[in-house]
């Protein structure tokens, strides 16, 4: 199945049975004009937030960044160790196991080798959250190290009635400290977050179901390794609900494990797609460039009165401005309190029920690793 060609864009091919994600070959990043890049961004949104391009082995950092700018304003990676950034290009974070002088020169996050996959969206504990992220694969092992992607708009559109009943109206606390604790269990080399980083990134509250700020599609927001608590639920019930939601939303029809080749580029939308790493043989080199970009946050769709109500009920004071007004101000102490199940069970996401509410859960066949 292929999409109809839009303007001068090469024809794309869906990478999942649900239609989430599009693979495009033959797109020249360095030569693309503004019109082609705008068409590519529209294709990205229409795909549910995953675009994969193949064949960019020779693109230079400058052309790569120009390509990235077509998707949003680029971030400068201030929260990362400067050693992890590509010299001269602070927008480019190196990801992988690059080491020099006994130290990592790239952000290395070891994927869990157990059954658990750390599904997440990048920095959901920030508001505005980065709208999307872009990988450019530079060096990669033959086997392993694939990146899982799952479409949260496609999953929300088919959400079974029982799961919707358990999810609608609930909010989650997204916490950088919670994520850090989780990651340090399997990444002992990871330095603990500094007080300053914790202060700059207090937890935020997001609905489990909301609407994408650009497409208007309903989306699930369930990055369980970022979520410290869900409104109205005990810690055990929080983990149980998230486990059920993630198991449903990452079924094969909604997800793909992308097997990287050098020169592959993936653009994903943090507002409508989750992702997760896979383990690889760490004696082999793996290096990807990652760029994150800004854009409207789905939280901005929530009526301000609803958030005002949350602020009063949680006694949380924002620091002002578009982002600060949605942040909880009390950091770790507040999350520990919320983690004991004290988060109130109200709010709602303004969801619009769809006919797909009536569909039952889909079967979960074995999931092959995707090779283009
Ligand atoms: Fe990530």
Neighbours of ion ligand 1 (CB under 5 A): 122
Phi first, then psi, for residue 264 (nearest 5°) are -75, 140
CA of 122 to the centre of ligand 1 (A): 5
pLDDT of res. 365: 36
Burial-class residue 181 by CB neighbours within 10 Å (0-12, 13-18, 19+): middle
Count of residues making up the chain: 372
| CATH entry 3.40.50.720 includes domain 12-357 | no
Confidence tier at 60 by pLDDT (50, 70, 90): very high
More confident residue, 4 or 137: 137
CA of 123 to the centre of ligand 1 (A): 8
**Helix-strand-coil split of the chain, %, nearest 5:** 30, 20, 50
128 preceded by cis ω (within 30°)? Answer: yes
Give the containing element (helix H, strand E) for 183. helix 176-186
Residue 15 has pLDDT above 90, yes or no: yes
CB 24 within 8 A of CB 264: no
94: left (phi over 0), alpha (psi -120 to 50) or beta: beta
| Long-range contacts of the stretch 328-334 (C-beta < 8 A, 24+) | 328/173, 328/202, 328/203, 328/204, 328/205, 329/202, 330/202, 331/177, 331/198, 331/199, 331/202, 331/203, 332/177, 332/198, 334/202, 334/203
Confidence tier at 116 by pLDDT (50, 70, 90): low
Q: How confident is the model over 309-357, as pLDDT tens digits?
A: 444 444 333 332 233 333 333 333 333 333 333 333 333 333 333 333 3
| pTM given for the model | 0.78
CA of 274 to the centre of ligand 1 (A): 8
Q: Tell me the three state secondary structure of residue 11.
A: coil
Tell me the average pLDDT across 81-95. 93
């Amino acid at each position: 199945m292929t999409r109809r060609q839009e303007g001068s864009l090469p024809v794309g091919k869906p990478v999942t049975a649900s239609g989430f994600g599009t693979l495009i070959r033959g797109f020249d990043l360095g030569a693309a004009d503004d019109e082609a890049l705008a068409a590519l961004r529209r294709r990205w949104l229409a795909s549910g937030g995953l675009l994969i391009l193949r064949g960019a082995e020779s693109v230079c950092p400058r052309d790569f960044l120009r390509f990235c700018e077509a998707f949003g304003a680029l971030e400068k990676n201030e929260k990362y160790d400067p050693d992890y950034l590509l010299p001269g290009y602070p927008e480019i974070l190196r990801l992988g196991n690059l080491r020099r002088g006994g130290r990592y020169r790239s952000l290395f996050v070891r994927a869990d080798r157990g059954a658990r996959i750390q599904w997440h969206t990048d920095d959901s504990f920030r508001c505005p959250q980065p709208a999307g992220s872009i990988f450019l694969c530079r060096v990669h092992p033959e086997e392993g190290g694939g990146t899982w992607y799952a479409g949260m708009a496609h999953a929300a559109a088919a959400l079974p009635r029982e799961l919707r009943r358990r999810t609608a109206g609930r909010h989650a606390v997204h916490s950088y400290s919670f994520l850090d604790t989780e990651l340090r269990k399997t990444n002992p080399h990871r330095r603990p977050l500094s007080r300053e980083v914790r202060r700059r990134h207090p937890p935020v509250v997001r609905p489990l179901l909301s609407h994408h700020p650009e497409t208007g599609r309903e989306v699930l927001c369930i990055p369980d390794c970022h979520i410290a608590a869900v409104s109205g639920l005990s810690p055990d019930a929080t983990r149980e609900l998230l486990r059920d939601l993630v198991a449903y939303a990452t079924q094969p029809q909604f997800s793909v494990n992308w097997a990287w080749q050098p020169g592959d580029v993936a653009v994903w939308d943090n507002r409508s797609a989750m992702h997760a790493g896979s383990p690889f043989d760490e004696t082999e080199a793996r290096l990807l460039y990652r760029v994150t970009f800004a854009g409207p946050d789905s939280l901005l769709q929530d009526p301000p009165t609803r958030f005002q109500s949350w602020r009063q009920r949680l006694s949380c004071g924002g620091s002002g401005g578009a982002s600060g007004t949605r942040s909880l101000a009390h950091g770790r102490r507040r999350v520990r309190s919320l983690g004991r199940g004290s988060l109130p069970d109200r709010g709602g996401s303004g969801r619009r029920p769809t006919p797909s509410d009536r569909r039952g859960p889909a079967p979960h066949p074995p999931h092959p690793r995707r090779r283009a």
